[in-house]
């Protein structure tokens, strides 16, 4: 269900699953194109 990606979860510190995933990516992936 796509709506789960938009709803903050207390277990994730109030982040949505998408935000949680983005913040926990390896740092190298964030800069691999720069």
Among 20, 14, 17, smallest CA distance to 5 is for 17
User: Residue 7 has which token pair?
Assistant: 């709803």
Of 2, 4, 1, residue with least CA distance to 16: 4
Q: What is the pLDDT of residues 9-28, one digit of tens each?
A: 677 677 777 887 887 776 65
For the question of whether the overall pTM of this predicted structure is more than 0.85, the answer is no
The pLDDT of residue 27: 61
């Amino acid at each position: 269900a796509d709506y789960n990606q938009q709803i903050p979860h207390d277990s994730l510190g109030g982040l949505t699953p998408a935000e949680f995933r983005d913040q926990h990516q390896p740092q190298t992936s964030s800069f691999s194109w720069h």
